[in-house]
Amino acid sequence: MATLILHPGKEKSVLRRHPWLFSGAVAQLDGRVRPGATVDVVSHEGRPLARAAWNPASQIRARVWSFDAAETIDHAFFKRRIAAAVARRASLPELAGQQGLRLVHAESDGLPGVIADRYGDTVVVQLTTAGADKWRAAIADSLHQATGCARIYERSDVEVRKLEGLEAVTGWLHGEAGGDELVIEEHGVRMTVDYVGGHKTGFYLDQRENRRRAAELARGRRVLNCFCYTAGFSLQALAGGAREVVSIDSSGPALATAQRNLALNPQLDAARAIWREADVFAELRNLRASGENYDLIILDPPKFAHTAAHAERAGRAYKDINLTAMRLLAPGGLLMTYSCSGGVSAELFQKIVAGAALDVGRTARIVQRLQGAADHPVDLAFPEGEYLKGLLLQLD
Ligand code: SAH
């Protein structure tokens, strides 16, 4: 095994149990190993610190598998870590019994580059780093062992793999398709999961609890759901008794799935659902021009900032949609607004939204701070894991 020697002082973040080692921290690699191989991480003085996956192609040169420098990284290691992640979910009442559930949330479950989502009897796995890619077989086997799911599908076709020098990989790792799509039930609403072609692994599991909250708030209200994707929030709002739900997305395929999802739920009043295939930035202005107003508006846009470097441009985009949405809210109306940009902190997001309220000249009060569901935990040693933040606001 090769040894990765850090520059003086660069052991500090590892001692604080942060799993990333950037290029600037690495003094030298003793030995020759392939991308994804496990290396011993040592301080400048040679003190053993951790075992990590090496990748010279990435700015994050190494990602820590274990802070126990003596722990062997082998099939059994993945079996232990994955079994523990699955057990943590099973022990939380709001997660036990969910048909759609994130089982492994990468760094926050001690497995950098490994994402695994369960949809009924199928697990969809996404490997985003060279280290995770190398352990594909052990990860698939461990997921099978820990869940009993016979069907394990890989969706490693995300952009971030390019930063790691990896090609896209998709296909069955265990078992095979019984059909093209999966259907799960979330808070009593049936939802299609397009695990082959949909976003992420097919569904935005991180918003599960927030969709439940939207259902609670929707009764009797006129709801506008912006960036609706396959209508998760929209159908929960209908289930909660919304008077009307207008859903906007720029993606035709997402809206087609959204309408199929509505048809999968005959208990919902389809006449109350209105669909708009449009750009949210423009459509909010059109709605304003035609004198519309709403009692509950949901803004769940895609990631506007991929890194902190894009935070400024992202800030303008967040401000724009929040400002135009606030203009459409009836007095006493509620705004559920989110950012899933890792480069925009919760504090910065709140400042941006506060700026929007100031510009429209309305008082907005925080009713609740919102975050990702409990199957997307945040390891306190890895604050980067806290990507999803939101505010539930009430406007005067
Ligand atoms: N709230 C959804 C997830 C939203 S994902 C859920 O709970 O499942 C973000 C969505 O925004 C995607 O469906 C994407 O198609 C859409 N989108 C991205 N840019 C857009 C734009 N400018 N206007 C409208 N929709 C957009």
pLDDT digits (tens, 9 = 90+) for 63-75: 999 999 999 999 9
Among 189, 200, 229, 324, which residue has the most ligand 1 atoms within 8 Å of its CB, making it the best to mutate?
229
> Distance between CA atoms of 140 and 171, rounded to whole angstroms?
12
Determine, yes or no, domain membership for 25. yes
* CA angle centred on 341, ends 213 and 197, rounded to 5°: 80
pLDDT digits (tens, 9 = 90+) for 270-319: 999 999 999 999 999 999 999 999 999 999 999 998 777 788 899 999 99
Among 250, 257, 297, 324, which residue has the most ligand 1 atoms within 8 Å of its CB, making it the best to mutate?
250
Residues 62 and 81 in one domain: no
pTM over 0.85: yes
Residues 120 and 49 in one domain: no
pLDDT reported for residue 332 = 98
Structure tokens at 355: 């700026």
Tally of structural domains, the chain: 3
Nearest ligand 1 atom to alpha carbon 210 = 7
Under 8 Å between Cβ of 198 and 191? no
Place of tokens 């009307």: 244
pLDDT over 90 at 269, yes or no: yes
Determine, yes or no, domain membership for 191. no
Residue nearest (by alpha carbon) to ligand 1 atom 13: 229
CATH number, domain containing residue 341: 3.40.50.150
Residues 317 and 335 in one domain: yes
pLDDT reported for residue 368 = 98
Residues 254 and 374 in one domain: yes
Tell me, in angstroms, the distance from the centre of ligand 1 to residue 65's CA: 33
pLDDT reported for residue 309 = 78
Under 8 Å between Cβ of 302 and 280? no
Determine, yes or no, domain membership for 186. no
Residues in the chain: 396
pLDDT digits (tens, 9 = 90+) for 119-160: 999 999 999 999 999 999 999 999 999 999 999 999 999 999
Tell me, in angstroms, the distance from the centre of ligand 1 to residue 279's CA: 9
Residues 249 and 145 in one domain: no
Determine, yes or no, domain membership for 189. no
Under 8 Å between Cβ of 7 and 28? no
Structure tokens at 243: 């008077």
Determine, yes or no, domain membership for 241. yes
Domain span including residue 100:
75-180
> Considering 124, 153, 180, which residue would you say is the last residue of a domain?
180
> Considering 149, 180, 211, which residue would you say is the last residue of a domain?
180
Tell me, in angstroms, the distance from the centre of ligand 1 to residue 197's CA: 15
Nearest ligand 1 atom to alpha carbon 229 = 13
Determine, yes or no, domain membership for 50. yes
> Distance between CA atoms of 234 and 207, rounded to whole angstroms?
12
Tell me, in angstroms, the distance from the centre of ligand 1 to residue 363's CA: 27
Task: Ligand 1: list residues with CB < 6 Å.
Answer: 204, 207, 227, 229-230, 232-233, 248-251, 254, 279-281, 300, 302
Residues 128 and 201 in one domain: no
- DSSP secondary-structure letter at 351? H
Determine, yes or no, domain membership for 251. yes
Task: Write the CB contacts of 71 (distance below 8 Å, at least 6 apart in sequence).
Answer: 51, 65, 77
